């Protein structure tokens, strides 16, 4: 599975970025080929999905058994590779951190992305939850049925939300950071929870820009603890990988995966796969995430050969916030875009 975090790793926009050479990737699916001496719960030939502390974008992956889960019989390998990061992140933020209950409201950014779609599906399992989503305008037709109210990511969504819900929302899930932090806090109801789980606004162009990085953090409104106390607001952060690989919460994650697999088996949730890419196409695949072109998850398929297919002709917005114009006759960046219809 490809995640926005992989772009942040590539640009060094994370704490303690790994040294190169490096094989990226944090999740995968496949068939068990070999077992450690003390592994009892799996057998060779099992279909599994797994979290990996890097090295997932490979033909053979090794990871501790506690991070491995059996794939339901009717789940495909591509769905399984799209499942762990997005759904565990969405579930834990909604239910473990924010305590989502009937009748609440949620604001989620990048509603068309993998986590955004997982959030929307999980919210639909609870009665009367209102979901406000922001997304690039060209995605609206495809995802309009998954959220209650959908806004353009470049519009003044704060005023739009307040027009519909003057009191604000109960939960804000922010993967953008920057100026959106202050906006999210301003929209919280009393006893509401704001969760920062990413900072995609720090990802710039192909090269790392310290000034863009600094500008993004400079736009973060400084949080005043006294103000939080007076306004009865909760501010939280969530990092699934730290929970797994640094804070030893593998048992908790397994219990969440069990609940999610049960929801999948009961047809309450289903991973949204945007497209499949050959390993050789990883550059183009990462560019598609960078340009916010995806609806759901991008998957690297080790058995897939590169295919020259055409992309949509839509004008897309890059992470840097600049319109990327679609020039007539310019097919160079339209090649090798294998979409799933």
Residue 324 confidence (pLDDT) = 35
Domain 4-209+219-300 = CATH 3.30.420.40: no
Neighbour count for residue 39 (Cβ, 10 Å):
14
Element (H, E) at 149: strand 149-152
154/339: higher pLDDT: 154
Instruction: Give residue 154's pLDDT.
Output: 84
7 Cβ contact list (under 8 Å, min separation 6): 200, 203, 286, 289, 290, 319
Beta bridge partners of 70: 48
Q: Which of 118, 49, 60, 58 is nearest to 89 (CA)?
A: 118
pLDDT computed for residue 307 by the predictor: 76
* Residue 187 Cα distances to 110, 144, 166, angstroms: 17, 22, 9
Q: pLDDT at position 44, please?
A: 97
- Contact between 289 and 314 (Cβ < 8 Å): no
In tens, the pLDDT along 32-84 reads: 999 999 999 999 999 999 999 999 999 999 999 999 999 999 999 999 999 99
Strand, coil or helix: 8: helix
Res. 267 pLDDT band, cuts 50 70 90: very high
User: Regarding predicted confidence, which is higher, 276 or 9?
Assistant: 276
Q: Give the tens place of pLDDT for each residue, 179-191.
A: 788 888 999 999 9
- Distance of alpha carbon 264 from alpha carbon 82, whole angstroms: 13
Confidence of residue 308 (pLDDT cuts 50, 70, 90): low
The more confidently predicted of residues 25 and 337 is 25
In which region does residue 56 sit, left (phi positive, over 0), alpha (psi from -120 to 50) or beta (all else)? alpha
C-alpha separations of 59 from 30, 68, 279 in Å: 9, 16, 9
Task: Inform me whether the pLDDT recorded for 229 exceeds 70.
Answer: yes
What's the pLDDT score for residue 41?
A: 95
Q: For the chain, which residues make up each domain, given as ranges?
A: 4-209+219-300
Residue 220 above 70 pLDDT?
Answer: no
Pick the closest to residue 2 from 241, 266, 289 (CA basis): 289
Over residues 112-156, the pLDDT tens digits come to 989 999 999 999 999 999 999 999 888 999 899 999 999 998 888
């Amino acid at each position: 599975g490809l995640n926005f975090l992989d772009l942040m790793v590539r640009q060094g926009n994370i704490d303690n970025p790994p040294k190169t050479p490096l094989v990226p990737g944090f999740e995968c699916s496949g068939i068990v080929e070999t077992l450690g001496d003390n592994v009892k719960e799996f057998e060779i030939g099992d279909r599994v999905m797994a979290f990996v502390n890097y090295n997932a974008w490979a033909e053979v992956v090794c990871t501790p058994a506690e991070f491995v889960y059996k794939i339901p019989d009717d789940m495909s390998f591509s769905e399984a590779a799209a499942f762990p990061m997005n759904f565990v992140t969405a579930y834990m933020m909604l239910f473990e951190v924010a305590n989502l209950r009937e009748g609440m409201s949620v604001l989620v950014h990048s509603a068309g992305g993998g986590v955004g779609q997982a959030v929307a599906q999980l919210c639909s399992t609870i009665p009367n939850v209102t979901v406000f989503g922001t997304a690039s305008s060209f995605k609206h037709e495809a995802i309009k049925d998954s959220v209650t109210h959908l806004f353009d990511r470049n519009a003044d969504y704060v005023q739009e939300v307040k027009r519909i819900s003057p009191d604000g929302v109960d939960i804000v899930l922010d993967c953008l950071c920057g100026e959106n932090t202050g906006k999210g806090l301003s929209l919280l109801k009393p006893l509401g929870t704001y969760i920062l789980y990413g900072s995609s606004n720090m990802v710039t162009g192909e090269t790392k820009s310290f000034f863009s990085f600094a500008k993004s953090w400079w736009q973060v409104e400084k949080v005043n603890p006294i103000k939080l106390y007076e306004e009865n607001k909760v501010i939280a952060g969530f990092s699934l990988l730290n929970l797994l690989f640094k804070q030893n919460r593998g048992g908790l994650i397994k219990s969440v995966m069990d609940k999610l697999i049960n929801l999948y088996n009961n047809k309450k949730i289903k991973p949204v796969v945007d497209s499949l890419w050959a390993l050789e196409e990883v550059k183009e695949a990462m560019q598609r995430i960078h340009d916010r072109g995806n609806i759901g998850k991008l998957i690297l398929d080790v058995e897939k050969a590169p295919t020259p297919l055409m992309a949509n002709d839509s004008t897309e917005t890059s992470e840097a916030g600049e319109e990327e114009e679609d020039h007539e006759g310019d097919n160079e960046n339209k090649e090798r875009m294998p979409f799933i219809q």
